[in-house]
Amino acid sequence: MSRSFSRYLKACADVFFPRLCVVCGTRLALDEQQLCAACLHQLPLVRFASLTENPMADRFVGLFPLVRASSCFHYQKGATVNRILFDLKYHDNPQVGYVLGRFMARLLLRQDFFDTVDVILPVPLSRTRRWQRGYNQSEWLARGVADVTGLPVCKDAVRRVRNNPSQTRLDRLGRMENVDSVFALTARSGLLSGKHILLVDDVFTTGATMLSLCDTLYALPGVRFSILTLAWAGA
């Protein structure tokens, strides 16, 4: 199918089934996906992809061999990013994760963020949470990143062994206790030995989930970590 004919079919579909921006609800242009250009460019970007004065990376100093860490957007309750995350996690819209995963990857490619990364590992959900939601939102973010970078995605080397309660209302200590020993390696985890692993999740607050995942993966010889999340909610 030619590209022009494909665009024609898409334009026809938009007439009968108009696509709307997940933030402002306006009708999307033909080349827009999930978010209109105006809302996308108003999102508050995080700018600490390097380790220098990076509060996200500081949470891992002296604990694990962290190469790089970054988020894409600042998170604030009631703000635009919050509405996007709510749509991603609770409105059965995994596609917004894929679109924003691609957006993150294009931004960070310019900063050589993915140099030496071997594989992308999305933070696992428990079986119960995945069944309730129908998908893992972190996997969809990882798919978007993979589509731009060409890196493989590994989904079966680590599993979540406990369906821990939501972190939303917990303080820093409560979050750390809530995710203690929540992950376990699978029989396929040996494939990650000696690899530079990019861990992908939706939100970074205290870093408790990532620290627990790194602690589990650190049992594998020679692993190194980089971390990428859609939103940064830290102080």
Which residue ranges form the domains of the chain, and what is each CATH number? 45-86+100-232 (3.40.50.2020)
Query: Is residue 211 within 8 Å of residue 176, measured between CB atoms?
Result: yes
Q: How many CB atoms lie within 10 A of CB 55?
A: 14
Burial 150-165 (b: 16+ CB within 10 A, else e): ebebbeebbbbeeebe
Q: 81 or 149: which carries more pLDDT confidence?
A: 149
Residue 26 confidence (pLDDT): 86
Write the DSSP assignment of 195-235 as a string of letters.
-EEEEEEEEESSSHHHHHHHHHHTTSTT-EEEEEEEEE---
Whole-number pLDDT of residue 162 = 75
| 106 has a pLDDT exceeding 50 | yes
Region 67-91 average pLDDT: 86
Is a pLDDT exceeding 60 seen at residue 164? Answer: no
Per-residue pLDDT averaged across 58-86, rounded? 87
Mean pLDDT of 38-47: 86
| pTM attached to this predicted model | 0.84
Distance CA 135, CA 88 (A): 10
Q: Which of the four pLDDT bands, split at 50, 70 and 90, describes residue 8?
A: very low
pLDDT: which is higher, 103 or 235: 103
The mean pLDDT of the chain is 85
Q: What pLDDT, in 10s, does the model give residues 192-231?
A: 999 999 999 999 988 889 999 999 999 999 999 999 999 9
Chain centre to alpha carbon of residue 6: 30
> What is residue 132's three-state secondary structure?
helix
Residue 188 has phi, psi (to 5 degrees) of -90, 0
Name the pLDDT band for 14 (thresholds 50, 70, 90): low
pLDDT-derived band of residue 180, with 50, 70 and 90 as boundaries?
low
User: What mean pLDDT comes out for the span 28-54?
Assistant: 83
Q: Rounded to whole angstroms, how far apart are CA atoms 177 and 8?
A: 53
Q: What is the mean pLDDT of residues 130-155?
A: 96
Structure-model confidence comparison of residues 40 and 196, the more confident one: 196
Percent of the chain with pLDDT strictly greater than 70 = 83
